[in-house]
Amino acid sequence: MIEEEIGDELRKRGLSISTAESCTGGLVSHRITNVSGSSDYYKGGVIAYANEVKEKILGVAGHILREKGAVSAECAVAMAKGVSSLLGSDVGIATTGIAGPTGGTPDKPVGLVYIALATKNYVYHERHIFHEDREGNKCEAADAALEMLKRYLLERARSSER
C-alpha cells in the first residue's frame, strides 16, 4: 500500500508531515492515518473547506483568494506552506478543487484539483482534472496527493532540504 511506503520513507528520513485539505475533506489524512504507527510522522491536518478557514487558520493571503480563487495553484501552495508552519511539520501537502457535481465553471470545471507540497526549501504543485462522480474525484485527488508525496520522498527528500 502506498500509505505504508510513504510511512516507511518518512520514518527512514526522520521527516514529519501535515495535511491541508479542501476538496478531499480529510481523505488524505484518513489514508495516512490508516497505517499503524503513523503518529511517528503525521502531525495532523486542517480541513479548510471555507475560504475563511484557509485565510484565518492556514494563512492563505486574502488577495490570493480574491484574485486567483480557492481553486488555484497559488492557494494550494499557500495551504501546504501554511499547514506545515502551523503544525511544525517538515512537509505540508494540500488539496483544493471542485469535487462536483456542482460548482464548476467553464474556466474551472468539475474535477479540477490543485495539489501542492511544500517544505522549507522546496515547493511543487500539480493541476489535475478528474472525470468521476464526487466520491471518485475525491478518491482520485487523494491518490494523486499520495503519489506526489511518494515521488517527493523517493526523488527529492534529503535531510539537507528540511
The number of folded domains in the chain is 1
Distance CA 89, CA 27 (A): 19
**What percent of the chain lies above the pLDDT cut of 70?**
96
Read off the C-alpha cell for 14.
526522520
The three-state DSSP-derived secondary structure of 4-39 is HHHHHHHHHHCCCEEEEECCCCCHHHHHHHCCCCHH
pLDDT at 159: 44
The owner of cell 475533506 is 25
pLDDT at 23: 98
Confidence of residue 158 (pLDDT cuts 50, 70, 90): low
Tell me which residue range forms the domain holding 92.
2-161
pLDDT at 160: 42
pLDDT digits (tens, 9 = 90+) for 88-103: 999 999 999 999 999 9
CATH (domain of 143): 3.90.950.20
Confidence of residue 128 (pLDDT cuts 50, 70, 90): very high
Instruction: Work out the mean pLDDT of the chain and round it to a whole number.
Output: 96
DSSP letter at 160? G
User: Could you tell me the pTM of the whole model?
Assistant: 0.95
Mean per-residue pLDDT, 4-17: 97
Contact call for residues 108 and 70 (beta carbons, < 8 A): no
DSSP letter at 108? S
The owner of cell 516507511 is 8
Contact call for residues 128 and 156 (beta carbons, < 8 A): no
